[in-house]
Amino acid sequence: MAVSSESLNASNAASRGAFIVMEGMDRAGKTTQVGKLRHTLEEQGHKVKTIRFPDRTTPMGTMIDGYLQSKTEMADHAIHLLFSANRWEKAAWIKEQISQGYMILCDRYYYSGMVYSAAKKNPALSLEWARTPDVGLPRPDRVIFLDLNAAEAEKRGGYGEEKYEKREMQENARELFLGLAGRGEESSDMVVIDAGHSVEQVASAIWDEVMKVVKAVETVPRRELSVVGAWTQVP
Ligand SMILES: Nc1ncnc2c1ncn2[C@@H]1O[C@H](COP(=O)(O)OP(=O)(O)OP(=O)(O)O)[C@@H](O)[C@H]1O
Ligand SMILES: [Mg+2]
């Protein structure tokens, strides 16, 4: 596809930004590592924006916040769709920033969305069902799954009081996360990193992955961000 003269003249026009998602169980170190990665990328001259889900600042985010703090009750399917809608609220923004050359670092995304809902083990809310409303969202270039078992996570100050911060939920969610390594496009998008090492060691393993992605988006001009596709096969 031809590149317009307008985009050639824009700053950083040769390449879009990369869309990197940090996933993992509670206390795995996602927020810590997003901060470190941002710092490293900025040191190298990249433009970076960070985002986190749920985004509790929007009207839908306020409802999600009330649910997570057990202030309001909601049916499993209803809250699931709200979490997804909360991501859709930001979809156009993500695409726009990426096209302007920003690296977007996203603290949790639809992986958490589907996995935590399915971890409730509601027989009418399968992982497949849970993934469906996110089909069509911007697809990450790379998803870093920070893997930490529940016992190790609890040593990091314990869980808080929020709805999903319970050992059983966490263990179910971890199993589902790891299962994604063998499912659909997630199997190629997601990389599992052992989050049980020091902050610096984990950061270095993450950087090895991110560096490859940054190189790829820089050397393949204007390869557009793709969208999350439907799962077509039952394993
Ligand atoms: N590699 C590590 N080793 C030991 N402690 C860590 C490591 N990474 C982060 N921590 C500590 O563990 C706690 C949780 O880290 P952080 O908030 O980054 O996790 P998180 O995955 O964002 O958690 P949450 O899901 O609750 O948002 C913090 O006190 C942080 O300093
Ligand atoms: Mg966090």
Residues lining ligand 1, judged by CB closer than 6 Å? 24, 26-32, 156-157, 198-199, 202
**Ligand 1 geometric centre to CA of 110 (Å):** 20
Q: Which CATH architecture has domain 17-219?
A: 3-Layer(aba) Sandwich (3.40)
Contact 26, 153 (CB under 8 A): yes
pLDDT of residue 157: 78
User: What residues of the chain score a pLDDT lower than 50?
Assistant: 1-12
Strands (DSSP E) along the chain, which ranges? 19-24, 48-52, 103-107, 142-147, 190-194
pLDDT of residue 222: 62
Residue 28 CA: nearest ligand 1 atom is 21
For 179-200, the pLDDT digits (tens) are: 999 999 999 999 999 999 999 9
**Ligand 1 geometric centre to CA of 43 (Å):** 23
pLDDT of residue 159: 74
Amino acid in the structure at residue 25: M
Residue 198 CA: nearest ligand 1 atom is 1
Residue 25 CA: nearest ligand 1 atom is 25
Q: Which ligand is nearest to the CA of 146?
A: 1
Residue 160 CA: nearest ligand 1 atom is 26
Contact 24, 193 (CB under 8 A): no
State the Cα–Cα distance between residues 91 and 136, nearest whole angstrom: 9
**Ligand 2 geometric centre to CA of 211 (Å):** 23
Question: What dihedral angle (degrees, nearest 10) is formed by the CA atoms of 18, 57, 32, 46?
Answer: 30
Pocket test for ligand 1, best of 33, 156, 170 (most atoms within 8 A of CB): 156
SS3 call for 192? strand
pLDDT of residue 8: 36
Q: Where are the alpha helices (DSSP H) in 100-198?
A: 110-118, 127-131, 150-155, 167-179, 186-189
**Ligand 1 geometric centre to CA of 24 (Å):** 10
